[in-house]
Structure 1
Amino acid sequence: MFSLPASSRKYFVVLVVLGGDTPFSDEQLATISHTRVYHPDAQPVGKENATLVFLARNSDLDDVKTSVERMERRYNHQNRYPWVFLNEQPFTDEFMETVANMTEAQISFGLIPPEHWYQPEWIDEEKATQGRQKMHEQNIIYAESVPYRNMCRFNSGFFFKHELLQSYKYYWRPNVDYFCNIAYDPFTYMRENEKIYGWTISFYEWEPTIPTLWETTKEFMAQHPGYIHPDNAMRYLSDDGGKTYNLCHFWSNFEIADMDFWRSPAYQAYFDFLESRGGFYYERWGDAPVHSIAVALFAPKTAIHFFRDVGYRHEPFQHCPQGETYKQGSCTCKRWDNIDYRSNSCTPRFERLFYD
């Protein structure tokens, strides 16, 4: 990566090389994206190698403002962890300047490489169209949306490969509404307690969106038994020893995780296997079940953490801390509006991993 010298200006431009080394050929120059970095001299107060990652479009500005404001007020104003915003289209000046004015932390705006975002050319479009039409007839949300599938595939297999994230170990996807002050550093908790994946809401996936995901996963497990951790969380995923999938997953719009896990041979092999089947487009495989299945199978169950003290909402569900935790965090959510132990929640299944 090459950067212009930092100055007293509000931002500088980083040239992110998506292929090859300098000096640049004409072909390499065509792959360079200009990444805007605001507050380049800002240093994190938090001590971990971590960042806040936000996938957004220019049209999402109002929702982004809400999320950034809540995250800064509830947590990051006292930690100043850097933000990384990613988009498949260039961010507008209005978007970047508006968001940058909401934080004192360094904030970078990057462009997603086309090959990481758009539907691959080898996908059978006729088959994919038929799959989308079938979901439309079943009244499934985002049934006909190819961009939604692009997002799910990107979050499953590519976001952690982006140039702006290569120097980081931990990330937090914060694009939700936060209700409670977070007085400690979750990143430090992850490191000190050898956690790989942190979540707050867990419930059932819509089966028609992933009809062959588990059978594909079983094929992968049969071919790569060495990747399955001996102290795995299969009982969270399956009620019959892995014959069938009970559809439980961690909702990934909030996740704090170790990107080295996604970069590991086990996860890379798993994603490549899923990718080869085309299920991100022929069906609508989401990054939430893909991440959840992977971490439950390839990591020890003790490396998965329920952040029960983090109150947040992503429509239409929310997790609201209970008891003394609610008071300590100065939470503003209604305690009765809490998905944890409702019939559509998988939280009890996760807890039984440790108490049965």
Structure 2
Amino acid sequence: MNTASRYLYLVLGAVISFHYILSFTHQEYGRITSLNNIASHFRDETKTPAFVDQNLVPLKYYAPSNSWNETAPGRRANAAFVILCRNSDLLRILGSIREIEDRFNRRYNYPYVLLNEVEFTDDFKRRVSVITSAKMEFGLIPHDHWFQPDWIDEDKATQARKKMISQSIIYGGSISYRNMCRFNSGFFFKHDLVKKYRWYWRIEPNVHFHCDINFDPFVYMEEHKKIYGFTITMYEYEETITTLWKHVKDFVDLHPEFVAEDNALDFLSDDGGTTYNLCHFWSNFEIADMNFWRGTAYTAFFDYLESQGGFYYERWGDAPVHSIAAALFASKDQIQFFDEIGYEHHPYTHCPQDEETWRRGMCTCEREQSFDLDSYSCTNKWDKIIGR
């Protein structure tokens, strides 16, 4: 072999060796940096994500490091998501759960309780259970908690529904809607599957969460002694609650001891309580302490309203019922406006108004289109009474 040939083989050997070393190093570097990238997304321990090889990273799951409103890393509240839905809501509830998982619960793993007035189908339970590793429980609502009580005067109730239909009031002719409002007002927190929890976050079919929620609202409320959290406020249809405020005042006259000293009456009334201005917290989103609903004041309040039959003789909603109770029987600083939670229930959206909050939450909503800015919103009244 001549000198030129030897030189050529030496060069080729060096190139092949260098390529092998470089390839091995690149593979190892890619594996290591991929692990570092995964680990950098987590901070406080909860559980191991399903997509992480337990042999390559610590058996921990961490909350995000960019949280701007952090509460007690690693701590959990005795809480659950509570969902009232039907088998026909399957696709819409899948979307809602997938969004709250992506925006919040994949890091916290709170359980879900789904309730229905009929049994959930096996297919419904299978489809819902596979989209999250969180615990899922499916419950049947007791007959007496859902259906119209026997003592309701059906002729009177029928006339009320016909009148609302003639006035083109939404759900004016619906008995099932009234059942739902009554159930959400006085019974959901008594369900056997819900009893073991103190805190709940109400989730509806086909709702959207527009921002990352990088803190735990349950723990925040527990630590700050809150009892009720909301994102959207608005005015109620007056025709659906024509006698509700009268009954509220009658109840307060009977039980003045339940009214909190530093209450939020000014959110509900512009004349010191003589009339109701129709403002309420939109209850399709609410995070609340069920000890408040289970307490003496609210129990007596609901029982009194129930005895008046207004859930069926009119169309009392759980939103004004919850709102009036929280505003009167708790102090106003126990009610929390979650501005940082971007939320949509068609056709209304709340979008965080603070630039930093909107940016850090990686929000997909437009602040200029937030319902807070609408003339039908009561957010300005809330801001005024708490001095924002």
The bucket for the TM-score relative to the shorter chain is 0.7 to 0.9
Counterpart AA for 1:335? R
**Unpaired stretches in structure 2, ≥5 consecutive residues:** 1-73
- 2:171 and 2:234 map into 1 onto residues whose CA distance is 19
User: What SS does the corresponding residue of 1:52 show, helix, strand or coil?
Assistant: strand
Q: 1:330 aligns with which of 337, 342, 362?
A: 362
Higher deviation after alignment, 333-342 or 313-322: 333-342
- 2:113 and 2:200 map into 1 onto residues whose CA distance is 10
Does residue 308 of structure 1 match 2:346? no
Q: Which structure 2 residues correspond to residues 275-286 of structure 1 after superposition, within 5 A?
A: 275-286=306-317
Q: Deviations over 1:83-110 (max 9, x none)?
A: 0000000000111110001110000000
- 2:386 and 2:128 map into 1 onto residues whose CA distance is 41
Off by >2 Å, runs of 4+ in structure 1: none
- Per the alignment, do residues 105 and 154 of structure 1 end up closer, same or farther by CA in structure 2, a change over 3 Å counting? same
Q: Which structure 2 residues correspond to residues 94-173 of structure 1 after superposition, within 5 A?
A: 94-173=123-202
- 1:233 and 1:318 map into 2 onto residues whose CA distance is 24
- 2:297 and 2:310 map into 1 onto residues whose CA distance is 19
Deviation of 1:191 (Å): 0.6
- 2:89 and 2:168 map into 1 onto residues whose CA distance is 25
Deviation of 1:174 (Å): 2.2
Counterpart AA for 2:238? E
- 1:160 and 1:121 map into 2 onto residues whose CA distance is 22
Report if the CA contact (8 A) 1:46-1:79 is conserved.
no
Alignment coverage as a number of residue pairs: 312
Q: Which structure 2 residues correspond to residues 1-356 of structure 1 after superposition, within 5 A?
A: 47-175=76-204, 176-322=207-353, 323-355=355-387
The corresponding residue for 1:18 is none
Q: Deviations over 1:182-238 (max 9, x none)?
A: 011000100111000000000100000100000010000011000001110000000
Report if the CA contact (8 A) 1:46-1:81 is conserved.
no
Deviation of 1:341 (Å): 2.5
What is the TM-score when the length of structure 2 is the normalising length?
0.80
Report if the CA contact (8 A) 1:46-1:80 is conserved.
no
Deviation of 1:355 (Å): 1.7
Deviation of 1:274 (Å): 0.2
- 1:317 and 1:306 map into 2 onto residues whose CA distance is 16
**Structure of larger gyration radius:** 2
- 2:113 and 2:255 map into 1 onto residues whose CA distance is 34
Deviation of 1:63 (Å): 0.8
User: What SS does the corresponding residue of 1:232 show, helix, strand or coil?
Assistant: coil
Note the aligned Cα RMSD (angstroms): 0.9
- 2:196 and 2:239 map into 1 onto residues whose CA distance is 38
Counterpart AA for 1:262? W
Q: Deviations over 1:267-287 (max 9, x none)?
A: 000000000000000000000
What is the TM-score when the length of structure 1 is the normalising length?
0.87
- Per the alignment, do residues 100 and 46 of structure 1 end up closer, same or farther by CA in structure 2, a change over 3 Å counting? farther
